[in-house]
Amino acid sequence: MSQKTVLQLPLNRVEGDLDVKVEVADGCVADAWCSGTMFRGFEQILAGRGALDGLVITPRVCGICGTAHLTAASRALDAIAGVEVPDNGVRLRNVALMVEHVQSDVRHGFLMFMADFANSAYRKHPLYEEAVRRYEPFRGQAVRETVRETKNVLEIVAILGGQWPHSSYMVPGGVVSVPEQNDLLQCLHLLRQYRRWYETRVLGCEIACWNAIKSASDLDAWLMEKEEHRESEIGFFLRFSEKAGLFATGKGHGNFISFGSFDLPRQTQVKPGKDGDRRLVPAGFARGTTVEAFDSEKIAEHVSHSWFLDSREARHPFDGETRPYASGFEGQKYSWAKAPRYDGVPAETGPLAEAVIAGRPLFIDLVRKSGPSVLVRELARLARPALLLEAAETWLHEMAAGDGDFYNPPEEIANGVGAGLTQAARGALGHWVKIEDRKIVHYQIITPTAWHASPRDDGGVRGVMEEALVGTPVKDDQNPVEIGHVVRSFDACLVCTVHSLAKAGRAARMRG
Amino acid sequence: MREKREDKRIICVGNRFVDSDDIGPQVYDYLARRDMPGAVSLIDGGLMGLDLLRFVEGARRVVFVDVLHGFAPPGRPVVLDRSMVLEERPTGYGHDGGLACLLRMLPAVCESDLPEIALVGAEPPIGPDVVEQLADMALSIATRERYGRERNTAIDAPQPGAP
């Protein structure tokens, strides 16, 4: 008879409040439940406010991805106003969002995910001492470098948008900030500085060399080719992860979703991420590596296991409600996150989903060979800046070279319905907005982490992280580092809650 | 941003949309309505966390204003220095670290001389009178000529007007 243990794990190093409960039987996770433990209520805050208020309030949903929320809010209002954003407005929006992505990708990698490599659970791993030297919290070499470099690259958003985070410079029709030549040259300098560090320390090679890797065997050959490759952060990640077995955990449902992002300006040297899609990161849905066209009408939110008033059926976000209901249904409802589904099924989003849907050969090959995993998911995140940095540099050059408009004034936004869909650093982000008599009457937000950390849906199907946890081996239930790997591979973000310093020994948690 | 080394900064931290986390924003709003001495910059630190590093670098002294839990009864102002914050031992980067995480990492990542650091705060709930006290304390610490160790060892800050 197998022995069952239930572990209740408040996870740190995720953004916000996430509780994971797992049932362990015979040394493996047999079942899992993910619970968002804080009600936010931004939808209620926005109802009744002025049509443009989402531009100021939603970037405060999160201190990590405010630019993504601003992008989504602006795109929803663009749609309602029926206004076309001029090319330079598109470029500036894109560059700012890219900067937010590339800093988030490496911060997550080296400050949050790889911190687990320095966990004492790995003290017998042959690369443990080197992992501690690189990733020990506050002191590791990669940790220190990452903080310095990301601080500098984020200045680009401050130059283009006045501040970061919580900026509000995007508006329907474009952006309100028009950078001078000197501003753009400064941005180019900062971007190139970041790119140099990324190529030298993270990749261990030039971006063009990395992008030439098209298959798992290419990746093996690249790793063996030079010491610079093996000693780079990605090289070290691959070597450590292989020995830790991270290619075999965290598989999940195997469905992927991307809302698409980075619209191409009408005139640009940047190529689309996929033929027929005018974006650098295409939209789509994939079962395994079979990609289908994306249809936003297939999105619905389930609340049967969430602390919200039940609806008779799953609802599209234009029809959804956010009415908290935390009493009753004990044992069934267990999260403040809703359960978004696409065409009735859960789907993971983020850098790996973007790579699969774009048909990037390396990741298609890796997923076909061994399915999604902790290793492949984190590799996609660490490698994403290799795609974005080149396009950002091109768009900064194009802005500096031309005199085009950044803003196309729209008509007054009095009535209408619009959706703002984009990719945040962690994946698919949508704002669904209805305006009546110049007021917001409906606002629904689905964040990437709602896709990942959702509870079960109306059919009892596990959320993405819940499913990915099943089968995870747990060697030590007092230090279940394997569970941390799976959860952190999704870069979970249950958003900023309360910043405070609590005196040691007190029950209050430090969080924020 | 290039700042003069004699610059002193008051950085108010918190979330104005969350009652239990809006002490910093309340103090910011109060100070923003007052004339600030020329050498003192007032900064709305919001939820920037580690990204406040940019605003710390180059300063001679930085006074943070934030919610503090467990150092004194609710509503009583408290002043801590950097070493006292570090005693609370943040476990790693993330939103479970807050200011303690920033201050712990500061010596390794600050690209200027380390500024003098003070953290002024209180445990909620607080009323307008405490907001005013916290603002006065932050301004007083920021503007005084010397910020000596003897000030840093006090846990409970003296009440303004107290003997």
CB contact A12 to B (< 8 Å): yes
Closest chain B residue to the Cα of A165, Cα to Cα? B48
List residues in chain B touching A: CB distance below 8 A.
13-15, 17-18, 20-21, 46-51, 53-54, 66-71, 80, 85, 87-101, 104-105, 108-109, 111, 119, 121
Q: Mutate one of B96, B105, B112, B155 to test the A interface: name it (highest A CB count within 10 A).
A: B96
**A447 pLDDT exceeds 50?**
yes
Angle in degrees, 0-180, between the axes of helices A141-153 and A87-107, rounded to the nearest 10: 170
CB contact A266 to B (< 8 Å): no
CB contact A408 to B (< 8 Å): no
Nearest to A499 by CA among A10, A16, A14, A9: A16
Under an 8 A CB cutoff, do B47 and A63 touch?
yes
The answer to whether B111 and B56 are in contact (CB under 8 A) is: no
- Rg over alpha carbons for chain A, rounded to the nearest Å, is 22
Distance CA A41, CA B19 (A): 13
Average pLDDT over residues A325-344: 85
Distance CA A159, CA A396 (A): 12
Does residue B122 or residue A42 have the better pLDDT? B122
Under an 8 A CB cutoff, do A115 and B49 touch?
no
Share of chain B above pLDDT 90, in %: 47
Under an 8 A CB cutoff, do A499 and B108 touch?
no
Distance CA A218, CA A77 (A): 44
Q: What's residue A336's pLDDT?
A: 85
- Give tens-digit pLDDT for A306-328: 888 877 789 999 998 778 887 76
Under an 8 A CB cutoff, do A498 and B15 touch?
yes
Nearest Cα of chain B lies from the Cα of A291 at a distance, in angstroms, of 34
Under an 8 A CB cutoff, do A154 and B51 touch?
yes
The answer to whether A262 and A100 are in contact (CB under 8 A) is: no
Q: What's residue B51's pLDDT?
A: 84
Average pLDDT over residues A182-190: 97
- What confidence tier does A167 reach under pLDDT thresholds 50, 70, 90? confident
Does residue B22 or residue B158 have the better pLDDT? B22
Closest by Cβ to A510, choosing from B71, B93, B96: B96
Q: State the complex-level ipTM.
A: 0.75
Encoded tokens for B111: 């690209």
Nearest to A511 by CA among A497, A491, A492: A497
**Range name among A269-283, B52-66, B83-97 with the lowest pLDDT average:** B83-97
Provide the whole-model pTM. Answer: 0.88
Under an 8 A CB cutoff, do A143 and B93 touch?
yes
Does residue A356 or residue A305 have the better pLDDT? A356
Nearest Cα of chain B lies from the Cα of A237 at a distance, in angstroms, of 19
Q: Which residues have a Cβ under 8 Å from the Cβ of B65 and sit 6 or more positions away?
A: B10, B11, B12, B13, B23, B24, B27, B28, B119, B120, B121, B134, B135, B138
Closest by Cβ to B95, choosing from A148, A503, A511: A511
Nearest Cα of chain B lies from the Cα of A427 at a distance, in angstroms, of 19
Nearest Cα of chain A lies from the Cα of B163 at a distance, in angstroms, of 28
**B95 pLDDT exceeds 60?**
no
Nearest Cα of chain A lies from the Cα of B94 at a distance, in angstroms, of 5
Q: What's residue A9's pLDDT?
A: 60
Reported as half-sphere exposure (CB side, CA atoms, 13 A), residue A264 has a value of 18
- Rg over alpha carbons for chain B, rounded to the nearest Å, is 14
Q: Which residues have a Cβ under 8 Å from the Cβ of A334 and sit 6 or more positions away?
A: A33, A35, A305, A307, A455
- What confidence tier does A364 reach under pLDDT thresholds 50, 70, 90? very high
Q: What one-character DSSP code corresponds to residue A509?
A: P
Helix ranges (DSSP H) in A245-288: none
Residues of A in contact with B50 (CB under 8 A): 147
CB contact A502 to B (< 8 Å): yes
Distance CA A211, CA A215 (A): 11
Residues of A in contact with B70 (CB under 8 A): 502-503, 506, 508
Closest by Cβ to B108, choosing from A111, A139, A154: A139
CB contact A137 to B (< 8 Å): yes
CB contact A501 to B (< 8 Å): yes
Average pLDDT over residues A452-466: 95
- Give tens-digit pLDDT for A91-139: 999 999 999 999 999 999 999 899 999 999 999 999 999 999 999 988 8
Q: What's residue B97's pLDDT?
A: 57
Q: Mutate one of A62, A498, A509, A511 to test the B interface: name it (highest B CB count within 10 A).
A: A498
- Give tens-digit pLDDT for B108-131: 899 999 999 999 999 999 999 999
DSSP, collapsed to helix, strand or coil, labels residue A194 as helix
Residues of A in contact with B18 (CB under 8 A): 497-498
Closest by Cβ to A137, choosing from B87, B91, B111: B91
The answer to whether B86 and B120 are in contact (CB under 8 A) is: no
